[in-house]
Amino acid sequence: MSELANQLSELRGRFDAAVADAPDADTLEAVRVAFLGRSGEVTLLRRGIGQLPAAQRPAAGKTINAAVEVLEAQLLEAERRLATGNFDAELAKRIDVTFPAIAPLRGSIHPIRRVMDDICAYFERHGFAVVLGPEIEPDYYNFDALNIPPDHPARDGFDSFFLTDHLLLRPHTSPMQIRTMQQHKPPVAVVTPGKCYRRDAVDARHLYQFHQCEGLLVAQGIHFGHLKGMLTGMCRELFGPDQQVRFRPSYFPFTEPSAEVDTTCPVCHGLGGTCRMCGGSGWIELGGAGMVHPNVLSEMKYDAGAVSGWAFGFGLERLAIVRYDVDDIRRFVENEPDFLQQLA
């Protein structure tokens, strides 16, 4: 046993010196293999245990195992020392403060939400309240109260998602106009943004789930000129101060007179020609508008002879297509990080 102790002491001295002189991780690994590897010096000592008397073998094995634990602990400590030294060396290097930094990844407001917020902010500045409501509504609020009886052909144009015989996903945000008029007497001034649902085939201009913002103003002395002024101001708020707005005669059951609202194409600025955005017409259709039908006012127990009002409804995706010059409405819902970052 004394000879084994001498051998371990001599091995330990050479191991300590080799570890202390190791300048890098590769050299340290070579030291480990030389002393503790399968063919290393400690393995050779273990093989010599069989030559000892049987009574001495257990103690010899324990002695070698204890020495191995000490050597392995020294290796770990040396590895930590080398890693710390490398880190300190990196920190000691001169930092070039003129080198461009890595730009942080930041989130942003979705372009549809930004359009919604800007429209609501415009109307809030003019005294309108923003009202929100449920996305599932009875057919009374979606159709009947809006002068669209069950046999009216206009119902077919909505092609709605019915959940029961009389309950459906709202095809427009008009139900909140009705609920507001039921709860408040004139004057009433609200905008109603939110999700809507129609059984439309998905293509570059249509989605079965989309966003809409409607506006309603009912008070004494309200006329079509007020509607034209507000919507012209809204378009200039969204698209720039040079925007023009035109109103084309149309038909909606809940307004009379009714109009389709167009704005000058923000790409060609109304020049038309070969513009791909407006198809050469110079105009972009935004949605419908008009004076609230007297039947709707009467249904709300308003005196149609004393008050009048206007209403409009625009699809927010359509407004966003125009504002951001996007050629396909589906891009707003496909969650493309590069696309959304570009619009941010």
Give the model confidence (pLDDT) of 19-45 as tens digits.
Answer: 777 778 788 788 778 877 777 777 777
**CA 184, CA 100: separation in Å to the nearest integer?**
58
pLDDT (mean) for 203-229: 92
Domains and CATH numbers, the chain: 2-92 (no CATH), 111-343 (3.30.930.10)
pLDDT (mean) for 187-195: 96
Burial class for 238, CB neighbours closer than 10 Å (0-12, 13-18, 19+) = buried
**Rounded mean pLDDT of the chain?**
85
Is residue 102 predicted with pLDDT exceeding 90? no
Write the Ramachandran bin of 202: left for phi over 0, alpha for psi from -120 to 50, otherwise beta. beta
Quick one: which of 112, 109, 115 has its CA closest to 237? 115
pLDDT (mean) for 287-304: 95
- Helices vs. strands in the chain: H and E counts, helices first: 12, 9
CA angle centred on 160, ends 209 and 206, rounded to 5°: 40
Q: Name 38's Cβ contacts closer than 8 Å, sequence gap at least 6.
A: none
Is residue 291 predicted with pLDDT exceeding 90? yes
pLDDT at 86: 66
pLDDT at 94: 66
pLDDT at 58: 79
The larger pLDDT score, comparing residue 9 to residue 283, is at 283
**CA 234, CA 211: separation in Å to the nearest integer?**
17
**CA 301, CA 189: separation in Å to the nearest integer?**
17
Q: Which of 66-70, 215-219, 265-269 has the highest mean pLDDT?
A: 215-219
**DSSP annotation of 156:** H
**CA 11, CA 6: separation in Å to the nearest integer?**
9
Write out the DSSP string of 85-129: HHHHHHHHSPP-TTSPPPPPP-----HHHHHHHHHHHHHHHTTPE
**DSSP annotation of 186:** S
Residue 41 phi/psi, 5-degree rounding, is -65, -35
The larger pLDDT score, comparing residue 104 to residue 277, is at 104
Q: Which of 51-55, 122-126, 156-160, 199-203 has the highest mean pLDDT?
A: 122-126
Quick one: which of 234, 228, 210, 259 has its CA closest to 323? 234
Show the tokens assigned to 324. Answer: 């951001």
Strand partners, 288: 260, 313
